[in-house]
Chains A and B, each alone.
Chain A
Amino acid sequence: MNQQVNDAGDVHNPTSVERRGDRELVITRTFDAPPSIVFRAWSQAELFRRWWVPESVPGGVSLVSCEMDVRTGGTYRLEFGAGGPDTMAFFGKYLEVVPNERIVWTNDEGEEGAITTVTFEDRSGKTLLTFHEIYPSSEALEEALQGGAAALPEQLEQLDEFLSSAGE
């Protein structure tokens, strides 16, 4: 079995991140549960908000609001905060939702945002999850690679750090 142990001693499946060509980013991970459960954890706001910003992230960064209407044509809006009054919003529209199979959405908070597709594939009762981002141009991916370098209020620096790195 290809598994790894994190600092807390828990056994988890590995997460792989790979760049494909000059416009795509692909992240994969296997979960020990059927697609119906993984899809539910991704598509219900009260479950999604519990893991999208993991507690292990320092700096008090959290999701201050999380609205998601996961159906084709529905929209989402996530607002991150770090304790202060300022928040940073991420929003977009669901282009395609097939329950237990795939969710496709836009990232509209910036110019030239990526289209994200997450698929849930049944692998004998487990789920192979693939998170795929395709940018409109190679320049847009390069921009993302460089971290965007947007000017942010001081209160959001920590947040930016979290969003652009992993919050080690």
Chain B
Amino acid sequence: MISWALIALGLLLVLIGTLGVLRLPDVYSRLQASGVSDNAGLGLVLVGLIARNGFDKADLILGLLLVLLLLTNPIVTHSIAKSTFTLEHREKGEEQ
């Protein structure tokens, strides 16, 4: 029963993050909405899937997936933000 609560909370966070990606006005604010809510919401969905039954072999693969999500998503967010910042300021520097 607690797994359903975790999955429902994660899906709510994912929907809020999608709304933020669709409605926020700037690249950086969309990046913040996407990064935070993806980490929290999809991570909670994966934790709910792990806590669904007793321990078996599929839980190890789900744990690996959770580690992969929590490890790579901040790197990707930082990389996209750095790319956008560098491109924007290079264009401004060429105009001067």
- Are A and B associated in one complex? no
Question: Footprint of A on B, CB under 8 Å?
Answer: none
